[in-house]
Amino acid sequence: MNIAGVVVEYNPLHNGHLYHLQKTKNQTHADLLVAVMSGPFLQRGEPALLSKWDRTRLALQAGVDLVIELPYQYATQKAEVFAWGAVALLHEIGATHLCFGSEAGTIAPFLNTLEILSEHQEDYNHWLKTYLADGNSYPKATALAFNTLGFNMESLVDLSQPNNILGFHYVEAVQRLQSSIKVETIQRIKAGYHDVEIADQQIASATAIRQALFQTEKAPTQLEGLTPPFTSRMLTTLKLQGRLRHWNDYYPYLKYRLLTDTRVQLQTIYEAEEGLENRLKQKAQDHENFHTFMSAIKTKRYTWTRLQRLCTHILTGTTKKDMLSGQTRERPKYIRLLGMSDTGQIYLNQQKKKLKLPLITHVSGTSIPGLALDIKAQECYQLVHNASDVHEYQRTPIRYDRPSDTFLNNN
């Protein structure tokens, strides 16, 4: 049985994601699709546009059979830690394949790069740290390290591209886990990860779609061609209700934390380093919205993404100790099930006794290291637009009957 895994955020799910799922299924001859999905806060340090439960519904309608949550300890981290947690979960759930989208489009450059770096790991790490210390971004530092070592770039993957970076770390994680997962990739088409302009009538980046959604003159109906109908319907409903999340919605809570926590308290927060927390505390007094605040604190040394992740950790009160599992590359300690199709439920019933990790379907009364952090993050996420949200302790996995296109529970 072929179990194909994908790692997703679906912020929101669009036609490019649908293309990825369809190509994954065809390329891997998958009998079952498993998605490891970020929870309320994402890898770039942003609150998700839609709740993880809404995104789970979209994933199931798009063809995914099992949706499991990537814990906060991994979901809000740099690429290598994010990839490590996601691949470890796919390994534990029994995935036979992992298929990711990339700018490269073929797997050979990733494998070549991993082999070369394994042979020159010490020298590469030295130059990478050197160029990062000079204030370069991670992609820029990587390219400079490669050039310094004189690698033949024609056979290697371009690690200045965002999806290539993640893909490389997926391949690296599979090797480190000594997993039998077969890794494959699909060419990303028409829109780049960071593209903010909508240049095609069918496919645009999630970044461009989010930006268009928050332009008051554009309604979700104007974006219908870029997303599957079920995504468009959900976006229309939630926008009318004013329930699409954005960092500006959370900025008052972040500002409160920055202004009321002491410098000593802020120093315990994960990714608060080199006095950066003092800069945030000072600038928070002068800015009334998140974008101008971020523009004021950004420097050449600290990227927007790096600072957003720090802001997320301050908002959620996440300390260096809380994130120890991610820092030390421990494997996740549980599998949190968010949703399943009828096919996914049959698979889980067959696999339950074989799973080495606890399968979490209900968090009430559960005490597993790391899970409390997920719950706290979700509670922070629900500070905004939570009037009709069901509390996390009352949630059970979403069940979806694909033949009838029906959700069997409404929680």
Residue 80 is part of a domain; what is its CATH number? 3.40.50.620
In a domain? residue 166:
no
Do the domain assignments include residue 373? yes
Strand partners, 102: 187
Does residue 272 share a domain with residue 338?
no
Q: 204 with 315, same domain? A: no
Last-in-domain residue among 269, 292, 323: 323
User: Do 71 and 94 belong to one domain?
Assistant: yes
Q: Are residues 390 and 252 in the same domain?
A: no
Same domain, 213 and 85: yes
Q: Which of 162, 158, 132, 136 is nearest to 146 (CA)?
A: 158
Report pLDDT for 257.
97
Question: Is 278 annotated to bind ligand?
Answer: no
How would you classify residue 118: left for phi > 0, otherwise alpha for psi between -120 and 50, otherwise beta? alpha
Domain boundary among 323, 348, 370: 323
State residue 246's pLDDT score: 93
Give the three-class secondary structure for 37. Answer: strand
The parent domain of residue 373 ranges over: 3-103+186-237+334-407
Q: Which two tokens stand for residue 222?
A: 């104007």
Buried b (16+ CB within 10 A) or exposed e, 37-56: bbbbbbbbbbbbbbbbbbbb
- The answer to the question of whether 12 is labelled as a binding residue is yes
Which residues in the chain show pLDDT less than 50? none
Q: Are residues 19 and 84 in the same domain?
A: yes
Phi/psi at 405 (5° precision) = 50, 50
Q: Is 20 annotated as ligand-binding?
A: yes
Classify residue 24: in a domain, yes or no: yes
Q: Is 103 annotated as contributing to ligand binding? A: no
Same domain, 278 and 309: yes
Q: Does the residue 139 lie in any domain?
A: no
Is residue 36 marked as binding? no
Claim to verify: residue 200 and residue 255 sit in the same structural domain? no
Residue 383 forms part of a structural domain: yes
Q: Is 16 annotated as a binding residue?
A: yes
Residue 308: closest CA among 12, 142, 77: 77
Q: Looking at 268, 296, 323, which one is the last position of a domain?
A: 323
Among 27, 75, 129, residue whose Cα is nearest residue 326? 75
Residue 162 lies in a domain: no
Span between the terminal Cα atoms of the chain, in Å: 31
Residue with tokens 């800015």: 287
Q: Judge whether 89 lies within some domain.
A: yes
Give a yes or no: residue 329 inside a domain: no
Q: State whether 263 and 402 are in the same domain.
A: no
Q: Do 11 and 82 share a domain, yes or no?
A: yes
User: Is 188 assigned a ligand-binding role in the annotation?
Assistant: yes
Residue 63, annotated as binding a ligand: no
Q: Does residue 393 share a domain with residue 343?
A: yes
- The per-residue pLDDT for 363 is 84
Do 266 and 352 sit in the same domain of this protein? no
Annotated ligand binding at 8? The verdict is: yes
Residue 189 marked ligand-binding: yes
157 is in an annotated binding site: no
**Is 385 a known ligand-binding residue?**
no
Q: Residue 171 annotated as binding?
A: no
Is 10 known as a binding-site position?
yes
- Rounded to whole angstroms, the Cα distance separating 65 from 171 reads 23
Report whether 17 belongs to an annotated binding site.
Answer: yes
Query: What angle in degrees, to the nearest 10, is found between the helix axes of 162-177 and 79-93?
Result: 50
131 labeled part of a ligand binding site: no
- Number of separate domains in the chain: 2
